[in-house]
Amino acid sequence: MTLTLFSFNGDKNAYKALVAAKYNGVDIELAKNFELGVSNKKPEFLKMSPTGKVPVLKTSEGAIFESNAIARYVARITDKGLYGATALDLGVIEQWIDFCTNEIDAPLLSWVLPLQGVWPYNKAKEDAAKEALKKSLSVLNEHLKKNTFLVANRITLADIVCVCNLFEGMKSVFDDSFRKPYPCVERYFVTCVNQPEFKQVIGSFELCKTPIKFTPKKKEKKEQPKKKEKGGKKQEAAAPKPKPAKPAKNPLDELPPSKMVMDAWKRLYSCAPANDFKNVACGRFWNGGAVPKSTSGEQFSGFDPEGYSIWFADYKYNEENTVNFMVMNKVGGFLQRMEPHRKHCFGVMCILQKEKLFPIVGVWVFRGQEIPPNVLAECGDVELYNWTKVDHKDEKARARIEDMFCQLDVVDGLDHIDCKVFK
């Protein structure tokens, strides 16, 4: 079997498959002369990965994109224990893969990529990403106090994915002071990256000492006119440099002001007490009220139907959703691609169970009266859903919204097996 991996040098997402291959005794060759930004835009590549994203694995039977899916495929080629020994091991491995993808990788990208100039920098988003990461690392640290690895007593695919998702943080922004509250996470990471199978892929690794920081671009100085030459002749002035194009404005920022503050709603939702969640979160979403645990007495004004709209999202191809973990990965990927639009969006995505199928439904709150045009243009996953604008006065619609917001055990009359909140 010939396996070819398309990616760029240093791609931590490609490391997942490459490390799994070392553990499983699988040969993977790297695509030759692959150039990011060029090779991944060619028609033959887009046939394998319609979004143009890497990594992509080419097999004799077809291509696979999305790094977790590729790693899962490699882990299943032979049974060397990467998926544990029991059905429970398998379930817990998938649990940690989802956790590390959605709760660690997503906020870490929001922190690091703007510092690297890949995404626009926003201090508030950076702070929010750090806080989200601290919560996730605390969960991971607590688990690792009593466990050497995530599942059982040996490295599994969960550890490979987790370590690769931690990679950029440990390399670029998790300095000594940031890592200090999470000694078990540091011990775990260092243990894993020093295993022969990891070292064959990533080489020697040094933990971050000085974190990268945002450096604003310096404004270019205007050229001074040249002095006259002797004899009265003027030197030809250099052609003025074109002014850098202004960053495109987000059309949602141009909308009339709304009394509803999205960040206040997100804080209210996050801080609502579990024992009275529906009354506090759902009641105050419609009618407004105090944000729990706010030291400043922050108030949320309630849903503003003039400034915001609510939409139901129903996946178009539920007949294909036959494997639970693949459906979870599908939803997680969608939310990752929504990351640049977090400022103006809030969503709850629910995975249900109907016999052997796993339907996906969701509810989203968007700024404005339509699905934002930049979301439609930049997130191809949107086209995979049927979107229905909600009449916020309709009692049945409100009840369905509240069922999803509250993550009830039953949604739309079906068992609700997993939920992901985009906030």
CATH of the domain at 122: 1.20.1050.10
Share of the chain above pLDDT 70, in %: 92
Residues 72 and 95 placed together within one structural domain of the fold: no
Report yes or no on 240 lying in a domain.
Answer: no
CB 11 within 8 A of CB 70: no
End residue of a domain, out of 77, 110, 140: 77
Residues 69 and 94 placed together within one structural domain of the fold: no
Residue 241 — pLDDT band, cuts 50, 70, 90?
low
Order of all β-strands in the sheet with 308-315: 385-389, 308-315, 360-367, 345-353, 414-422, 410-411
The identity of residue 198, as a single letter, is: F
Q: Which residue has the tokens 């439904």?
A: 361
> Rounded distance, CA 127 to CA 303, Å?
25
pLDDT given at position 324: 80
Measured torsion, CA atoms of residues 401, 404, 409, 411, in degrees rounded to the nearest 10: 60
Q: Give the domain extent around 142.
A: 87-202
Residues 6+ apart with CB under 8 A from 311: 363, 364, 365, 366, 371, 387, 388, 389, 390
Least confident span in 83-92, 94-103, 330-339: 330-339
Residues 139 and 31 placed together within one structural domain of the fold: no
Q: Is the pLDDT of residue 311 over 70?
A: yes
The CATH number that applies at residue 57 is 3.40.30.10
Residue 252 bridge partners (DSSP): none
CA distances from 392 to 8, 147, 286, 304, 335 (A): 47, 47, 9, 10, 24
Report yes or no on 34 lying in a domain.
Answer: yes
pTM listed for this prediction: 0.56
pLDDT given at position 350: 95
pLDDT given at position 247: 57
Residues 93 and 118 placed together within one structural domain of the fold: yes
Give the count of domains, the chain. 3
> Rounded distance, CA 306 to CA 295, Å?
29
pLDDT given at position 243: 61
Mean pLDDT over 374-379 rounds to: 83
219-240 residue pLDDT tens: 655 566 555 555 555 555 555 6
Residues 188 and 93 placed together within one structural domain of the fold: yes
Residues 375 and 413 placed together within one structural domain of the fold: yes
> Rounded distance, CA 350 to CA 416, Å?
7
Q: 149: buried, middle or exposed (CB in 10 Å: 19+, 13-18, 0-12)?
A: middle
> Rounded distance, CA 101 to CA 106, Å?
6
Report yes or no on 99 lying in a domain.
Answer: yes
Residues 310 and 418 placed together within one structural domain of the fold: yes
Report yes or no on 224 lying in a domain.
Answer: no
Share of the chain above pLDDT 90, in %: 67
pLDDT given at position 25: 94
End residue of a domain, out of 160, 175, 202: 202
End residue of a domain, out of 37, 57, 77: 77
DSSP per residue over 166-178, as a string? Answer: HHHHHHHT--HHH
142-190 residue pLDDT tens: 999 999 999 988 999 999 999 999 999 999 999 999 999 999 999 999 9
pLDDT given at position 221: 59
Q: Is the pLDDT of residue 82 over 90?
A: yes
Residues 28 and 96 placed together within one structural domain of the fold: no
When the pLDDT of each residue in the chain is averaged and rounded to a whole number, the result is 89
Mean pLDDT over 302-307 rounds to: 94
Residues 36 and 131 placed together within one structural domain of the fold: no
